[in-house]
Amino acid sequence: MVRRVVTVDEDGRGIVVSDGPPTMFGGAESAEGVEIAVMWAITDPPPDLSQPIDTEHPAWNLGPVPVGGARWSMLTFHPGARARGMHRTQTLDFVQVISGEIYLVLAESELRLGPGDAVVQRGATHAWENRSDEPCVMSAIMVTAR
């Protein structure tokens, strides 16, 4: 289980305002075999640090990232997972493998990625496949793009 800690500055002191699980989607038993933890989302950039925190914001879903926004997720691809088949998003994605291995499938090539490997995905049509017997955990930040 992923843990999300959220801090703010209150009267010149850093404090914890939330400590627990993030919003979760999917799971090992889901059709795709992928569990997604939405860690944080920015819906109205730039973020206004003076506003109260809404850790259950309704915009924090798996739909398109709002224009000008960003979403950070932790993804667990369980063994045999194939996420969404070939797909493309209108985002610039920063992805890093934390543990396990995954295949990035492109139109004319495949790359096996392991812990520490990072991908900058610039709107390319792609798929993710876990062909191993172990889960693969990745961190992904999606930023809307033109």
Q: Quick: pLDDT tens for 95-119.
A: 999 999 999 999 999 999 999 999 9
pTM exceeding 0.75? yes
How much is the pLDDT for 12?
Answer: 86
Q: What is the mean pLDDT of residues 80-97?
A: 90
The domain total for the chain is 1
> What is the domain extent for residue 140?
22-144
Say if 115 falls within a structural domain.
Answer: yes
Say if 39 falls within a structural domain.
Answer: yes
How much is the pLDDT for 19?
Answer: 93
Q: Given pLDDT bands bounded at 50, 70 and 90, which one contains residue 59? A: low
DSSP state of 103: E
**Measured in whole angstroms, how far is the alpha carbon of residue 26 from the centre of its chain?**
13
Output the six-digit token pair for 144.
Answer: 């809307």
Tell me whether residue 49 is exposed, middle or buried, using C-beta atoms within 10 angstroms of its C-beta: 0 to 12, 13 to 18, 19 or more: exposed
